[in-house]
Amino acid sequence: MTDTIKSTMNLLKFLHWLGVLMLVCGLGIYMLTQWSLEISGMLLISSLIGLGLVLMSPYPVVLFIQWAKRQDELTKNELPKHKD
């Protein structure tokens, strides 16, 4: 179970960095070349930026969910137990 979660996190981390790379490449092509004036260049740039943003998005959400679960576990452990 833990190996599955770790491999999923590694996959999401890889996809996140791939998305960052695609976004940076798309922005670089847009800013530094004249390809954005042609239809094929517009398609390439918009695809790189769009897919880069889509690939980046799941990883921070998963990190937030893991953080929230850890916070919940910490608060459960810190609560004093009532004696009846």
Reported as a single tens digit per residue, the pLDDT across 1-59 is 578 878 888 888 999 999 999 999 999 999 999 998 999 999 999 999 999 999 999 98
Instruction: Compute the distance between CA of residue 60 and CA of residue 10 in angstroms, rounded to an integer.
Output: 13
Domain for residue 25, yes or no? yes
Domain for residue 6, yes or no? yes
Residues 6+ apart with CB under 8 A from 18: 52, 55
- Residue numbers of the domain that contains 28: 2-78
Q: How many domains does the chain have?
A: 1
Residue 43: what pLDDT?
Answer: 96
Domain for residue 83, yes or no? no
Quote the pTM value.
0.76
Domain for residue 40, yes or no? yes
Domain for residue 63, yes or no? yes
